[in-house]
Amino acid sequence: MSLAFIDNASLSFGNKVVLRRCSLEIKEGAITCLIGLSGAGKSTVLRLLNGLRMPDVGRVTVMGVDLMTLSKRDLIDFRQRIGFAFQFSALFDSMTVGDNVALPLREHTRLSKTDIDRIVNRTLDSVGLLQAREQMPAELSGGMLKRAGFARAVVNNPRLVLYDEPTTGLDPIITHVLTDTIKRLRQQLDGTAVVVSHDLDSIYAMGDYIAMLFEGAIIEYGTVEEVRRSVNPIVQQFLQGSEVGPIPI
Ligand SMILES: Nc1ncnc2c1ncn2[C@@H]1O[C@H](COP(=O)(O)OP(=O)(O)OP(=O)(O)O)[C@@H](O)[C@H]1O
Ligand SMILES: [Mg+2]
């Protein structure tokens, strides 16, 4: 079963074409990892999936809803079903970790303060950050910031969670912890995740499917094992991290 589709999407910024008839299916209940060179358009694909961007041409369907047909208001409501863990965590500096995580619940639900407190505590606990609840973002390490961002992304039980480079720039141990956390959160939510990552060990550890974006389109898609065995020289060059091959450097 698929949870989302991008169907022949094209998107340009000015005269820079980022996506060219790009199609991608997101399987429900799985972790799909999106790989590709820097600037390939991976973050743009995540933004398409939660309606932060619309394609110039083509269609994006998420949970059976064609995002282009939603009004601005309905899109904002719809987005509550989708969690987004941003590359730079994007927490509010002036609020404690707990208040940051509570924000989606305060803004988009009518839950009581007691219920919100309980959910925030449970969510922080599930990412191992309960003790940091009253701390300010500036006091946290990089790995803790990422986990706080994860907690905020999942606090309202979204069916789909999008992670943009969740482990980039972190040490191997924290990378391991974050990879496990993404996997565990997907199971707890019984949901679906899309992870943009350059970290192949992490992708092999958590991914069910891999999609590779190259020159505006998905050039390879399959289970992790299938993509690892791809005969496409572009895919192999990327996975080997080789300077030699068809990818223009
Ligand atoms: N709002 C925007 N205005 C203009 N150009 C943009 C905008 N957003 C993205 N781009 C351009 O679109 C291209 C794809 O950007 P995107 O951020 O999706 O790539 P990416 O694959 O996530 O890259 P990275 O690995 O560096 O994060 C880049 O060339 C970028 O400069
Ligand atoms: Mg990006």
Distance from the alpha carbon of residue 113 to the mean position of ligand 2, in angstroms: 35
The ligand 1 atom at the shortest distance from the C-alpha of residue 165 is 27
Pairing of strands 2-13, 65-66: unpaired
The predicted structure's pLDDT at residue 87: 84
Distance from the alpha carbon of residue 42 to the mean position of ligand 1, in angstroms: 8
Distance from the alpha carbon of residue 197 to the mean position of ligand 1, in angstroms: 15
Q: Give the model's confidence band at 41: pLDDT under 50 very low, under 70 low, under 90 confident, else very high.
A: very high
- Which residue puts its alpha carbon closest to atom 14 of ligand 1? 41
- Which residue puts its alpha carbon closest to atom 16 of ligand 1? 41
Q: Tell me the pTM.
A: 0.95
Q: What is the mean pLDDT of the chain?
A: 95
> To which H or E segment does residue 43 belong?
helix 42-49
In a 13 Å sphere around the CA of 48, the CA atoms on its Cβ side amount to 30
20: phi > 0 → left, psi -120 to 50 → alpha, else beta; which? beta
- Which residue puts its alpha carbon closest to atom 2 of ligand 1? 13
The predicted structure's pLDDT at residue 249: 78
CATH of 29-41+76-240 among 3.40.50.2000, 3.40.50.300, 3.60.21.70, 3.40.50.720: 3.40.50.300
pLDDT digits (tens, 9 = 90+) for 140-171: 998 999 999 999 999 999 999 999 999 988 88
DSSP code per residue over 94-126:
TS-HHHHHHHHHHHH----HHHHHHHHHHHHHH
- Lowest mean pLDDT of 86-90, 191-195, 198-202, 213-217, name the range: 86-90
pLDDT digits (tens, 9 = 90+) for 110-138: 999 999 999 999 999 999 999 999 999 99
Residue 244 has pLDDT above 90, yes or no: no
Residue 213 has pLDDT above 90, yes or no: yes
Residue 88 has pLDDT above 90, yes or no: no
Quote the CA–CA distance of 201 and 35 in Å, as a whole number.
Answer: 13
The ligand 1 atom at the shortest distance from the C-alpha of residue 198 is 25
pLDDT digits (tens, 9 = 90+) for 93-103: 999 999 999 99
- Report the residue among 6, 12, 16 best suited for mutation to probe ligand 1: largest number of ligand atoms under 8 A from its CB: 16
Quote the CA–CA distance of 110 and 136 in Å, as a whole number.
Answer: 25
The ligand 1 atom at the shortest distance from the C-alpha of residue 36 is 21
